[in-house]
């Protein structure tokens, strides 16, 4: 009985960390909807939030051979380490003015972000579709992983970019692993959030520590929450 109580309390703390307003985020709660713009906030009585600015990370293989299992992110264990925890031979940059990759990692220690779309750019089409392993964790030492398999939309004309519309959570325990990065090749990931919470915001504005964003609709698809539609 006592163990169940503490497990429940830990779950509550984790949910509050992931969603500052106490909403229970779950992969099953998220749906992909092709709907008119006004439908997204129908009945909500509020003004549509702005589209988010992306987090932009570029990886470059500076060697003459392909490198497998390219790890990046995982701020909780990477900050201050060699190459900020990124696999040897890989140069990493954060492509937002006046912000370094290390600063981006630090920000993930104090906030949790719900990513809706991942925009991938690379001059080599075959590199675009390399599998990405998403590892998640928490302060209890538990977690899991899922595989993201990017695919070029058969209806798009571009061959140097694609959109992976996969919802996942990014924080200090999130690690991404790119299966392979070809020699002398760079690949850029732009992560578009639809929800962002911060422990600092939660202190300043209790109960309103999160910020919602509109779907970027990079590939013309709207990503909505069932809860938002029901309000």
Q: Please check the confidence at residue 200 and state whether its pLDDT lies above 50.
A: no
**pLDDT tens per residue, range 86-98:** 999 999 999 999 9
CB 224 within 8 A of CB 33: yes
- Estimate to the nearest angstrom the gap between the alpha carbon of 123 and the chain centroid: 23
Residue 146: how many other CB atoms lie within 10 Å: 12
> In 3-state terms, what secondary structure has residue 177?
strand
Q: Over the chain, what is the mean pLDDT?
A: 74
pTM: 0.69
The pLDDT value recorded for residue 50 is 63
> What are the distances in angstroms from CA 225 to CA 25, 33, 35?
9, 9, 13
CA distance 197 to 23: 11
CA distance 73 to 171: 9
Q: Where are the domains of the chain?
A: 2-230
**pLDDT tens per residue, range 140-197:** 777 789 999 999 888 889 999 999 988 888 999 999 999 999 999 999 999 998 876 6
216 CB-near residues (< 8 Å, 6+ apart): 51, 52, 54, 116, 117, 192
**pLDDT tens per residue, range 44-73:** 445 555 667 899 999 999 999 999 999 999
């Amino acid at each position: 009985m006592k163990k169940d109580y503490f497990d429940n309390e830990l779950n509550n703390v984790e949910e509050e960390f992931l969603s500052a307003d106490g909403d229970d985020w779950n992969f099953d709660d998220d749906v992909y909807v092709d709907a008119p713009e006004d439908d997204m906030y129908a009945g909500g009585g509020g003004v549509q939030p702005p589209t988010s600015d992306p987090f932009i990370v570029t990886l470059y293989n500076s060697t003459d051979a392909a490198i497998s299992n390219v790890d990046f992110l995982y701020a909780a264990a990477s900050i201050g380490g060699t190459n900020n925890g990124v696999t040897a031979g890989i140069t990493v940059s954060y492509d937002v003015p006046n912000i370094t990759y290390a600063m981006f990692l630090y920000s993930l220690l104090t906030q949790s972000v719900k990513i809706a779309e991942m925009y991938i750019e690379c001059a080599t089409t075959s590199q675009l579709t390399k599998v990405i392993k998403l590892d998640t964790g928490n302060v209890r030492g538990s977690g899991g992983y899922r595989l993201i398999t990017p695919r070029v939309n058969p209806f798009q004309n571009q061959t140097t970019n694609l959109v992976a519309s996969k919802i996942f959570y990014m924080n200090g325990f999130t690690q991404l692993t790119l299966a392979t990065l070809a020699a002398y090749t760079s690949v850029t990931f732009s992560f578009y959030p639809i929800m962002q919470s911060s422990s600092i915001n939660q202190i300043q504005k209790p109960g309103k520590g999160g910020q919602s964003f509109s779907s970027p609709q990079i590939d013309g698809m709207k990503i909505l929450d069932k809860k938002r539609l029901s309000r």
